Amino acid sequence: MDIEHVRSRFKKHFNDEVGSVYASPGRINLIGEHTDYNGGFVFPGAIDKGMVAEIKVNGTDKVRAYSIDLKDYVEFGLNEEDAPKASWARYIFGVCREIIKRGGKIQGFDTAFAGDVPLGAGMSSSAALESTFAFALNDMFNLGIDKFELAKIGQATEHNYCGVNCGIMDQFASVFGKEGSLIRLDCRSLEYKYFPFKPVGYKLVLLDSVVKHELASSAYNKRRQSCETAAAAIRNNNHPEVEFLRDATMDMLKEVKDQISAEDYMRAEYVIEEVQRVLDVCDALERGDYETVGQKMYETHHGMSKLYEVSCEELDYLNDIAKKCGVTGSRVMGGGFGGCTINLVKDELHDAFIKEAFASYKEKFGHEPKLYEVVISDGARKLA
């Protein structure tokens, strides 16, 4: 994250002014995918890539925002109801609206921001942007909003201004991240626990398929709908305690097999298994048993590909290469439909795996994947 770059752009666009600088990271997720909106567990960590924004109150009721990466400028009034057209600006607009909705008193500001989380790679660049502004405005205007609510402001921004009915994982990780630790979050009770994650002898490697699926948000919302349909069927079938799929067992699901579509059944099956896998991985980590961690990652990939159907040919191919090379664990990461695989690779296998993945991916798809080595880092913070 290049702070000096942001500072120089801010100066240039806003009359040599100097503001405060805030940053918020993207995230990885070791395991627990599509479990958050089902009240289940997730296991993310913030990374050393994110968004940096310089911000200064401008004495008006307008926000003047400059995206350094996109070289695009947008203005909107804090009292306007209509969101800006530019999708990047909707995130900032949404955060302002959600704070105002909660009674937060904010004033107009100038901002320039840039990021190094690759867009559409499943590393939550949008959550990084939301958390940067939610954290910054809370700090600058002394709003006293707690950290969970900051994450929820980001999530509500996705729901109400960006059309994605996402869970809480990405914004939570971006706000609560801690250097060297993954965080297990129970998305029903919101209890969380930090797990130091320094797998000696292994590297965590992200391989970006560079595939971006255009319909990802509507397909995502459809998955969520399937889960809610399945949970409702179970609840109405004499299990009133089942609020989310997290509360259901495979036996309960089997009881309603004839009442829901085959597709909804498969989606629910994946979720019920995935919730359990997160707990298994946490146990395995406490024993230092990385073989089990890796095996669960492969199981997740299989479920996401065959039951939840959020993988794609390119990601399946990257997963196959990992398996053939003897990589300990590999799976599609994040919402899916494109983006990265996350791989847990033994140090001694790392170079050979990357070489093989690049060569065979290029041979099959005509271009190489991208490689990101990530460091587990701190969450939202003020830099200057």
Catalytic positions are 170
* Cα-based distances in Å from 355 to 110, 318, 351, 352: 45, 12, 6, 5
Nearer to ligand GLA, 141 or 148 (CB): 148
Closest approach, Cβ 169 to ligand GLA, in A, equals 4
Which token pair is 79?
Answer: 């009292």
Which token pair is 83?
Answer: 């969101």
Q: Measured between alpha carbons, how far is 91 from 384 in angstroms, rounded to an integer? A: 23
List, in order, residues 6 or more apart from 222 with CB less than 8 Å away: none
Nearer to ligand GLA, 6 or 380 (CB): 380
> Could you tell me whether strands 109-115 and 62-67 are parallel, antiparallel, or unpaired per DSSP bridges?
parallel
Nearer to ligand GLA, 37 or 76 (CB): 37
Nearer to ligand GLA, 34 or 97 (CB): 34
Taking the alpha carbons at both ends of the chain, their separation in whole angstroms is 13
Nearer to ligand GLA, 214 or 347 (CB): 214
Q: What is the DSSP letter of 170?
A: H
Burial status of residue 192 (CB atoms within 10 A of its CB: 0-12, 13-18, 19 or more): middle
Closest approach, Cβ 45 to ligand GLA, in A, equals 14
List of residues contacting ligand GLA (CB under 6 A): 33-34, 36-37, 124, 166-167, 169-170, 334-335
Closest approach, Cβ 27 to ligand GLA, in A, equals 8
List, in order, residues 6 or more apart from 372 with CB less than 8 Å away: 49, 118, 121, 123, 205, 206, 208, 340
Closest approach, Cβ 36 to ligand GLA, in A, equals 5
Closest approach, Cβ 15 to ligand GLA, in A, equals 37
